């Protein structure tokens, strides 16, 4: 009679299935814990922002009604609008985007995917010097790509390029060597 030899446990199929399920379960618990921690951090940030808004509201000012109006308007904004405005600051300050290119980036399916309304709010409310952004872009094209002023102008106003207005491009070319 042939005696069956038992395989070691690590060579058993059921052992590997159990191990995979165990590791997946632990991973899910850890991920859920990270999500909960992130959510609690977000709540803390929101609470501190609310407290900051309360401080802003209580500071004495001649135009208290106007300040309350502006503050309540900001408080009533959808989160998407606030997020679009924050994201637009990065694009304007670091990437020196034009108004049109910023709007396209915020609404693009391969970009930020904000609603058209949120993107328009961000574009309308971002504090930007569009002429200065055009000038910064023009200097990059001049210094790094050795483009002629006319080629730079074309790139600045092109729909496939930077999408600045003709006036912004003219300002940039005029001040290119300042």
Summarised one tens digit per residue, pLDDT across range 15-68 is 777 778 877 777 666 555 555 555 555 455 455 444 444 444 444 454 444 444
The Cβ-side half-sphere exposure at 98, using a 13 Å CA radius, reads 23
Mean pLDDT, rounded, for 149-171: 97
Domain shared by 27 and 111, yes or no: no
Domain shared by 87 and 128, yes or no: yes
Domain shared by 23 and 90, yes or no: no
Domain shared by 170 and 107, yes or no: yes
Q: Where in the sequence is the domain holding 33, given as residue range(s)?
A: 12-45
Helix, strand, coil percentages in the chain from 3-state DSSP, rounded to 5: 70, 0, 30
Which pLDDT belongs to residue 137?
96
The answer to whether residue 6 sits within a structural domain is no
d(CA 14, CA 24): 15
Per DSSP, 4 falls in state P
């Amino acid at each position: 009679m042939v005696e069956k030899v038992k395989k070691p446990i690590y060579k058993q199929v059921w052992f590997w299935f159990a191990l995979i399920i165990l590791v997946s379960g632990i991973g899910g618990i850890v991920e859920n814990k990270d999500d909960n921690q992130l959510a609690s951090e977000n709540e803390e940030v929101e609470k501190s922002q609310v407290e900051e808004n309360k401080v802003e509201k209580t500071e004495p000012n001649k135009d208290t009604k106007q300040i309350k109006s502006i503050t309540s308007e900001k408080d009533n904004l959808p989160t998407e609008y606030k997020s679009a405005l924050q994201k637009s600051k990065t694009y304007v300050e670091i990437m020196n985007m034009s108004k049109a290119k910023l709007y396209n980036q915020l609404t693009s399916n391969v970009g930020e995917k904000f609603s058209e309304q949120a993107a328009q709010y961000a574009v309308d409310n971002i504090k930007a010097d569009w002429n200065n952004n055009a000038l910064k872009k023009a200097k990059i094209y001049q210094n790094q790509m050795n483009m002629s002023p006319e080629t730079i102008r074309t790139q600045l106003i092109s729909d496939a390029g930077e999408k600045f207005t003709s006036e912004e491009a003219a300002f940039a070319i005029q001040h290119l060597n300042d």
